[in-house]
Amino acid sequence: MTSARPSIGFLGIGLMGAPMARRLLGAGFEVVAWSRTADKARALAQDGARAASSAAEAAAACDVLIAMLADGPAVADTLFGAGGAAAALKPGGLVIDMSSIPPSLARDHAARLAGQGVAHLDAPVSGGTRGAAAGALAIMVGGDPEAFERARLVFAPLGRAIRVGPAGAGQLAKLANQVIVGVTIGAVSEALLLAAAGGADPAAVREAIRGGFAESRILEEHGRRMLERDFRPGGMVGTQIKDLDTALAAAAEAGVTLPLSQDVRDRFVELRDRLGAGGYDHSALLLQLEAMAGARLTDIAPG
């Protein structure tokens, strides 16, 4: 891209999409927003966005189309379904799919769009709603180097973008991220329960081990959430399950096994199905482990 800012069509104004669209507006981009729930797109009007009545309308009005949708079927339907956005795209346009979808589906979308002269990047993100609002997302990008260079100006207000390989590679990087996140949430939950059950102050233990080899964003942010029992959604349990299911399917396709991922996925499923916490933040995995222990972290912590 040249130094001129391209116009942006933004599909999906949800927990992540809304702050990301606001970051682009704040950086001076023209944004045409669309959401299945029309009020969500209209809510951006006070920040300078224009609400589109359809995904196709947003696509026709933009140079770069960004999708931040719930899952693979939602992306496929929005792009290629009846009245979908893909048919309305300008030749020479660019689609940046920042949703988390299967790598095979990302490769298929890239091939279909290339057939109509439109470039495609799969660029899922990590960092949650806080990272989206702060412009501090980790953006994992798959696609052609030329398309990635074109997108740098768009990525800049959103976070740190790194190209990790060809089409589908961004989604593989996101799956690797979600494997680490899911397993580490389980490890932090178990560690705090162990500390409390043995008679230590879990909050003090968390502080004591920070800065050592166990330090991580999960220990910092999700460990705090566990101690404060703040399970308002950032990254939701249901989304974590979706991503782990996709990771396990990709692993099977590649001929490798992920036993830790399988175990933590099953615990998240129990948290959703038996404890009804599918809409909680994924740090709520602590609740499933507490149910197994028969005691809450705060109950067994020393006074």
Nearest alpha carbon to residue 277 among 243, 239, 248, 221: 239
Give CA–CA dist 186/177, Å, rounded.
14
In a 13 Å sphere around the CA of 273, the CA atoms on its Cβ side amount to 7
The reply to whether 98 and 32 lie within a common domain is yes
The reply to whether 12 and 148 lie within a common domain is yes
Instruction: Pick the last residue of a domain from 166, 188, 211.
Output: 166
Q: Which pLDDT score is estimated for 301?
A: 53
Residue 2 included in any domain: no
Q: State the helix-helix crossing angle for 169-197 and 259-273, rounded to 10 degrees.
A: 70
Structure tokens at 88: 């309305």
Q: Which pLDDT score is estimated for 298?
A: 78
Q: Which pLDDT score is estimated for 234?
A: 83
Residue 1 included in any domain: no
The reply to whether 90 and 239 lie within a common domain is no
Total domains present in the chain: 2
Kindly report the CATH number assigned to the domain that includes residue 162: 3.40.50.720
Taking the model in full, what pTM does it have? 0.90
The reply to whether 89 and 235 lie within a common domain is no
Is 174 a residue of the active site? yes
The reply to whether 179 and 208 lie within a common domain is yes
Domain enclosing residue 107, as ranges: 8-166
Instruction: Pick the last residue of a domain from 166, 197, 224.
Output: 166
Residue 47 included in any domain: yes
Residue 3 included in any domain: no
The reply to whether 54 and 101 lie within a common domain is yes
Kindly report the CATH number assigned to the domain that includes residue 254: 1.10.1040.10
The reply to whether 68 and 156 lie within a common domain is yes
The reply to whether 84 and 141 lie within a common domain is yes
Catalytic residue, chosen from 40, 90, 174, 242, is: 174
The reply to whether 98 and 220 lie within a common domain is no
The β-bridge relationship of strands 137-142 and 125-126 is antiparallel
Structure tokens at 83: 């009245």
Residue 153 included in any domain: yes
The reply to whether 133 and 254 lie within a common domain is no
Report the sign of the C-alpha dihedral through residues 144, 150, 155, 156, in that order: positive
Instruction: Pick the last residue of a domain from 166, 188, 223.
Output: 166
- 3-state SS string for the chain: CCCCCCCEEEECCCCCHHHHHHHHHHCCCCEEEECCCHHHHHHHHHHCCEECCCHHHHHHCCCEEEECCCCHHHHHHHHHCCCCCHHHCCCCCEEEECCCCCHHHHHHHHHHHHCCCCEEEECCEECHHHHHHHCCEEEEEECCHHHHHHHHHHHCCCEEEEEEECCCHHHHHHHHHHHHHHHHHHHHHHHHHHHHHCCCCHHHHHHHHCCCCCCCHHHHHHHHHHHHCCCCCCCEHHHHHHHHHHHHHHHHHHCCCCHHHHHHHHHHHHHHHCCCCCCCEHHHHHHHHHHHHCCCHHHHCCC
The reply to whether 251 and 284 lie within a common domain is yes
The reply to whether 238 and 261 lie within a common domain is yes
- How far is CA 138 from each of CA 20, 68, 102, 173, 279, rounded to the nearest angstrom? 13, 15, 18, 10, 23
Amino acid, single-letter form, for residue 33: A
Write out the chain's pLDDT in tens, 303 residues: 444 899 999 999 999 999 999 999 999 999 999 999 999 999 999 999 999 999 999 999 999 999 999 999 999 999 999 999 999 999 999 999 999 999 999 999 999 999 999 999 999 999 888 999 999 999 999 999 999 999 999 999 999 999 999 999 999 999 999 999 999 999 999 999 999 999 999 999 999 999 999 999 999 999 999 999 999 998 899 999 999 999 999 999 999 999 999 999 999 999 999 999 999 999 999 999 999 999 888 776 555
Residue 266 included in any domain: yes
Give me Rg for the CA atoms of the chain. 20
Q: Interior CA angle at 206 toward 202 and 207, to 5°?
A: 120
